[in-house]
Structure 1
Amino acid sequence: MSKSPEVFSVLGLPIHVMTNYPNWLLERLQQGVGAHVVTLNAEMTMQAEQDHCLAEIIQNADLVIPDGAGVVLYLRWLRQRKVERSPGIELAENLLQNLATNDNNYPVFFYGGAPGVAAEAARFWQTQLPNLTIAGTHSGFHTPEEEQALLQNLAKIQPQVIFVGLGVPRQELWIARNRHLCPNAIWVGVGGSFDIWSGSKTRAPSWLGDNNLEWLYRLYREPWRWRRMLALPKFALKSLIYGLTVKDIVTQGSP
């Protein structure tokens, strides 16, 4: 069994740090306990300050990974912790690759994105990983009646991994509200990953990601995001104050 993750605090929210997240999630599947995975970045952290429901969901998540550069730099500079960034899209990709080589043949469901995007993303991975089992796909745009049918379908087919690409905080709220339908599954909010996998959008060059500047590429490609990016300097200032005045808390997470 993998070592339980260490849990650090970032502005009062947990971050779970370990060396191999996909293996830990596979062990959860094998144990039949499932997990809710949150990919935390600076923007989500600041949203949680205003949205108590989102903050509670993050607090109760089984795994919160350091997705954003701001979160990682906070832990490195202000807490002197050796933490590597773990983008949610890469966690999802590594998990899919592991699932494709696992004898248990865990089925995966893709939910979210514009019409046709989740289906195209699933086709991409089916091509890349022929042994991957796709349980189904569903667009994030639908009527209440269609969503009810989706929920009934999930409860019936019981996929073991469910990727939800609805954006923050909608995907986190949706998972928390519906997780009881597939309690043994791994639920992961994947943001815009379906757009990347389907070819609808492109990801930042690796050298930008390696230098914690992926956010700059997103702003370049989608300038309308500038209002959302205002969360970054707010996070930096809040982190500085918090880091200098609040003692860090490190605990050992549960398996």
Structure 2
Amino acid sequence: MQQTTNPSLATGVSAPRRVHLMGLPVDCVTEAQAIAICQDAIARPRQVCIVPINAAQTILAHEDAAFRRVVEDFELALADGKAVAWGAKWLERLPVPEQVGLPPFVHRLLDVAELHEHSVYFFGAEEEIVQQVVARAHRRWPRLLIAGQRNGFFKPADEAGIVAAMNDSRAQIMLVALPSPMKEMWIARHKDALHIPVIAGVGGLFDVMAGKVRPAPEPIRMAGLEWVFRMVQEPRRLFRRYMTTTPLFVYRLLTGYEPTE
């Protein structure tokens, strides 16, 4: 498997080693190191766009070369899925130190944002959901500076105005709760125009933060069974996704599959 230093993080804090698992980048960082990279980006400032890597995204990247190229350009690729972290570390012997699960990472990032007075913009999901996320964030992090919020429903003609409003908010961190591959493509399309140091794709996390979906208990998450917990809560939406992508990911990992394009 290819191993490199991530060129996008060649300055500031120590650049993590970037490895590739089944054609997708994974940066060899702990949660604490990922948080330190975000803090450094805000302090300089410079831009760090974050993409979580899980089994479903790996399969999506195998089917979509354009998506795979976009993901490669993100400054920080986190081993979000337990299957990705385990597969990289134990099967491929890659130096991925741990799973950096998206929910605990984002909560820790918001802890740091509240402590250091970094402003946060919440973008994505339905209007009711994003409002609930902001309300719950106010309760959990009462001193958190919330720069702005917007739902994830818009037309292409609206995007320039949305980006301008985000820049006007002077946010230092933005959480993008759009589905894959929409969130990765949206970030890639607008990152050069956005003056926000830390931009993190968080997918369906707003549903959890809003209380619509229960988070997996820690023992279940640590056992790598978070996907089962989610599927039980939303079987009609997630059964087909998890019952196809997870076995296919395991099969391709065990057989050494690499995309050819």
Q: TM-score, normalised by structure 1?
A: 0.89
Which amino acid letter does the alignment assign opposite residue 48 of structure 2?
A
The runs of 5 or more residues in structure 2 that have no matched partner are 1-11
Q: Does 1:69 align with 2:82?
A: yes
Match of 2:60 among 40, 44, 47: 47
Between the aligned partners of 1:155 and 1:83, the Cα distance in structure 2 is 35
> Which digits, 9 at most, give the CA deviation of each residue in 1:175-213, with x for residues without a partner?
111112224421101111111111122111211101000
Between the aligned partners of 1:238 and 1:91, the Cα distance in structure 2 is 28
The equivalences for 1:83-94 within 5 A come to: 83-94=97-108
Aligned to 2:37: 24
The equivalences for 1:52-131 within 5 A come to: 52-80=65-93, 81=95, 83-102=97-116, 105-131=117-143
Q: Cα RMSD (Å) of the superposition?
A: 2.0
> Which digits, 9 at most, give the CA deviation of each residue in 1:64-98, with x for residues without a partner?
00001221121122123453111112211111111
Between the aligned partners of 1:14 and 1:37, the Cα distance in structure 2 is 12
Q: How many angstroms does 1:9 deviate by?
A: 1.2
Aligned to 1:250: none
Moved more, 149-158 or 5-14: 149-158
Q: How many angstroms does 1:3 deviate by?
A: 2.6
The equivalences for 1:130-141 within 5 A come to: 130-141=142-153
Q: How many angstroms does 1:25 deviate by?
A: 0.9
Moved more, 153-162 or 75-84: 75-84
Instruction: Give the SS at the match of 2:246.
Output: helix
> Which digits, 9 at most, give the CA deviation of each residue in 1:126-146, with x for residues without a partner?
222222110111111245565
Instruction: Give the SS at the match of 1:242.
Output: coil
Structure 1 contact 75–83 (Cα < 8 Å) conserved = no
Which amino acid letter does the alignment assign opposite residue 191 of structure 1?
G
- C-alpha change, 1:147 and 1:117, in structure 2 (3 Å) is farther
Between the aligned partners of 2:211 and 2:171, the Cα distance in structure 1 is 25
Q: Does 1:240 align with 2:254?
A: yes
Structure 1 contact 107–161 (Cα < 8 Å) conserved = yes
Between the aligned partners of 2:153 and 2:184, the Cα distance in structure 1 is 16
Match of 1:13 among 13, 24, 45: 24
Between the aligned partners of 1:54 and 1:215, the Cα distance in structure 2 is 23
Between the aligned partners of 1:227 and 1:216, the Cα distance in structure 2 is 12
- How many residues align? The count is 243
Aligned to 1:3: 14
Q: How many angstroms does 1:113 deviate by?
A: 0.8
Between the aligned partners of 1:55 and 1:158, the Cα distance in structure 2 is 30
Which amino acid letter does the alignment assign opposite residue 61 of structure 1?
F
Structure 1 contact 110–119 (Cα < 8 Å) conserved = no
> Which digits, 9 at most, give the CA deviation of each residue in 1:83-122, with x for residues without a partner?
31111122111111111111xx321100111122112212
Between the aligned partners of 2:15 and 2:160, the Cα distance in structure 1 is 36
Aligned to 1:176: 188
Between the aligned partners of 2:160 and 2:25, the Cα distance in structure 1 is 32
Amino-acid identity (%): 25
Between the aligned partners of 2:110 and 2:145, the Cα distance in structure 1 is 10
Instruction: Give the SS at the match of 1:18.
Output: coil
Q: TM-score, normalised by structure 2?
A: 0.87
Which amino acid letter does the alignment assign opposite residue 168 of structure 2?
K
Between the aligned partners of 2:172 and 2:193, the Cα distance in structure 1 is 11
Instruction: Give the SS at the match of 1:108.
Output: strand
